[in-house]
């Protein structure tokens, strides 16, 4: 048996957001048993049951089915209104974004038309503050940034390796680009 405490917590903590109700599947406990489906399917089913009850001259049952159908019709209407409002909001944001892009594009074209070739080297540059050597900039000193007092001496050029025996190629072979000495060609 469930405790009343957990049951009341569940009911008070319900999210009453309509969200995506249009496609959500509901279980409706009507007078004739459960009806399962999307709100539109449930509305259609209850309307059919109401017509059947009217044909059977049962006005009470017909009214009951119509009330059930009306409940889901209101639920569906509220969900569609919320979706329409959300869609309008998104369209408004998209129009604003597009207008901003258009303004930026117009400014850029105007700058280019006024003699600006789009070359950023000609644009005004921000002033840079020169760092003083006796103040701590908070940067870590690395060997590359430290200035040494002694000048660097130039490197010695590498000595050429003597050619190996198999790398020695005759002058006439080197001109042809052959690595191998002349060999008889295979007969076809």
> How many domains, the chain?
1
So what's the pLDDT on residue 132?
55
Say how far apart CA 86 and CA 111 lie, in whole Å.
38
Say if 91 falls within a structural domain: yes
Say if 106 falls within a structural domain: yes
Task: For residue 65, count CB atoms less than 10 angstroms from its CB and return exposed for 0-12, middle for 13-18, buried for 19 or more.
Answer: buried
Say if 15 falls within a structural domain: no
pLDDT digits (tens, 9 = 90+) for 67-78: 999 999 999 999
pLDDT digits (tens, 9 = 90+) for 117-150: 555 666 677 776 665 555 566 777 777 777 666 6
Say if 167 falls within a structural domain: no
Encoded tokens for 25: 């599947």
Question: Under a CB-based contact definition with an 8 Å cutoff, are residues 23 and 75 in contact?
Answer: no
Q: Taking 90 as the threshold, does the pLDDT of residue 100 lie above it?
A: yes
Say how far apart CA 146 and CA 155 lie, in whole Å.
21
Question: Under a CB-based contact definition with an 8 Å cutoff, are residues 49 and 65 in contact?
Answer: yes
């Amino acid at each position: 048996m469930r405790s009343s405490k957990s049951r009341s917590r569940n009911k008070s903590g319900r999210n009453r957001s309509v969200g995506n109700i249009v496609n959500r599947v509901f279980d409706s406990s009507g007078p004739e048993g459960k009806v399962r489906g999307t709100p539109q399917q449930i509305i259609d089913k209850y309307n059919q049951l109401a017509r059947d009850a009217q044909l059977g001259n049962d006005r009470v049952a017909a009214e009951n089915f119509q009330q059930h159908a009306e409940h889901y019709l209101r639920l569906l209407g509220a969900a569609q209104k919320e979706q329409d409002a959300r869609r309008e909001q998104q369209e408004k944001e998209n129009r604003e974004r597009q207008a901003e892009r258009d303004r930026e594009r117009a400014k850029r074209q105007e700058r280019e038309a006024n003699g600006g070739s789009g070359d950023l080297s000609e644009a005004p540059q921000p002033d840079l503050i020169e760092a003083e050597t006796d103040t701590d900039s908070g940067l870590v000193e690395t060997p590359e940034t430290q200035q040494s007092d002694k000048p660097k001496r130039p490197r010695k050029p590498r000595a050429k390796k003597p050619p190996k025996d198999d790398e020695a190629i005759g002058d006439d072979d080197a001109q042809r680009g052959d690595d191998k000495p002349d060999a008889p060609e295979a007969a076809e």
